């Protein structure tokens, strides 16, 4: 970190103390990560949920001291990777027979609803873009859907919740650092929307070797500690699978719906089915399923080839009783647009992929407008 050393950062963490108890941040947690990008010092402190509340009042003072006392520092940002204490294990009398994991209680009483936290301030709706497995183009779909919703006239934010593999900065062409104002991160703006990712706070090559509770804490902070401003919808690009991050999002905020991304082949559809089932158990409406990589169209002769089969996602949507949102072709231009930081819905709106994503955004946007009208009593 050039002139800014980890020892210097730890010294500041020890010097800023609670005036009532005398405790410093390192008494209540551990320095999990420290990086410097463009002169901005980014610090992650790992702690548990209870002690995180005792650290929060110290954050503004820590950020001020880091900025003013470290040579070359232009600013500072501190995040807490906090988590709840482990739940009390079930008693033998209540434990399920035959071993294995005890099922989670997801509020599945008849007629009941999954309790959820409040929406981020001034955000109308929050939706998730999810997949049961990796490699199906979920992040590409999330980026183009969010930008497409902006083109539909909605005020849109995009949150990259894939802490272990944050791709949003590259796909959106965002290379600058988020500012910190009055203790809140300011999202970056591009392609008509606002966006935030843990990838904007760490070096691109840095591996985020975080356990599940730390990931959950980071997602909670990206929801609560970012100044999203006035938004109609916040689109959350979820990590693949059905684990901690998905549960955290459902618990931290009131999800208005989820878009499931799959490819046509059977193995991907099995995982998509699990994704639908997970959101249904969490009482989150499934807005529909998208079939990505639906077909390949040769750029030279326009011959259409269905490399992974075709129509599987539509059939799965019919089987599970959720809407089918459309087909996205497999094209090299989609990959290139993501690598170049220019979503294809903007860079090539008249291409087959650009039109497919615009159609997806139009369909989802219509559903979101109805939800917003209902919420506002319109």
Binding site per annotation, positions:
132-139
Contact (CB, 8 A) for 229 and 120 = no
d(CA 95, CA 366): 46
Q: Which residues line the annotated binding site for ATP?
A: 132-139
How far is the C-alpha of 287 from the C-alpha of 321, rounded, in Å? 11
Contact in structure between 133 and 239 (CB atoms under 8 Å): no
- Beta-strand ranges (E) seen in the chain are 30-37, 40-46, 75-81, 123-130, 156-160, 180-181, 184-185, 188-190, 193-197, 231-237, 257-262, 286-291, 296-297, 304-305, 324-327
CB contact at 8 A, 303 and 330: no
Q: How far apart are CA 368 and CA 292, in angstroms?
A: 21
The strand pair at 75-81 and 286-291 is best described as unpaired
């Amino acid at each position: 970190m050039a002139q800014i050393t980890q020892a210097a950062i730890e010294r500041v963490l020890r010097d800023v103390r609670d005036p009532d108890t005398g405790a410093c941040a390192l008494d209540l947690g551990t320095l999990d990560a420290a990086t410097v990008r463009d002169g901005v010092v980014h610090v992650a402190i790992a702690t548990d949920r209870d002690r995180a509340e005792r650290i929060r009042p110290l954050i503004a003072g820590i950020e001020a001291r880091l900025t003013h006392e470290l040579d070359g520092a232009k600013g500072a940002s501190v995040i807490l990777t906090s988590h709840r204490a482990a739940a009390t294990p079930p008693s033998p009398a209540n434990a399920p027979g035959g071993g294995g994991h005890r099922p989670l209680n997801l509020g599945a009483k008849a007629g009941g609803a999954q309790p959820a936290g409040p929406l981020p301030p001034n955000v109308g709706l929050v939706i998730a873009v999810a997949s049961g497995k990796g490699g199906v183009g979920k992040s590409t779909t999330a980026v183009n859907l969010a930008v497409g919703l902006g083109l539909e006239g909605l005020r849109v934010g995009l949150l990259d919740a894939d802490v272990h593999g944050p791709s949003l900065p590259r796909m959106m062409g965002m290379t600058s650092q988020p500012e910190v104002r009055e203790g809140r991160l300011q999202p970056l703006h591009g392609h008509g929307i606002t966006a935030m990712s843990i990838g904007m706070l760490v070096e691109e090559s840095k591996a985020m070797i975080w356990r599940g509770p730390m990931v959950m804490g980071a997602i909670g902070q990206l929801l609560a500690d970012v100044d999203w401003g006035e938004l109609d919808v916040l689109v959350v690009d979820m990590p693949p699978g059905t684990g901690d991050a998905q549960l955290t999002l459902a618990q931290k905020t009131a999800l208005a719906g989820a878009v499931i991304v799959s490819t046509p082949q059977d193995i991907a559809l099995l995982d998509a089915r699990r994704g639908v089932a997970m959101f249904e158990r969490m009482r989150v409406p499934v807005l529909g399923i998208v079939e990505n990589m639906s077909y390949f169209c040769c750029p030279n002769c326009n011959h259409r080839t269905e490399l992974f089969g075709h129509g599987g996602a539509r059939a799965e949507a019919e089987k599970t009783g959720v809407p089918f949102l459309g087909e996205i072709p497999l094209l090299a231009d989609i990959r290139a647009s993501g690598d170049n930081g220019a979503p294809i819905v903007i860079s090539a709106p008249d291409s087959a992929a650009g039109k497919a994503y615009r159609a997806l955004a139009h369909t989802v946007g219509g559903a979101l407008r109805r939800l917003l009208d209902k919420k506002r009593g319109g």
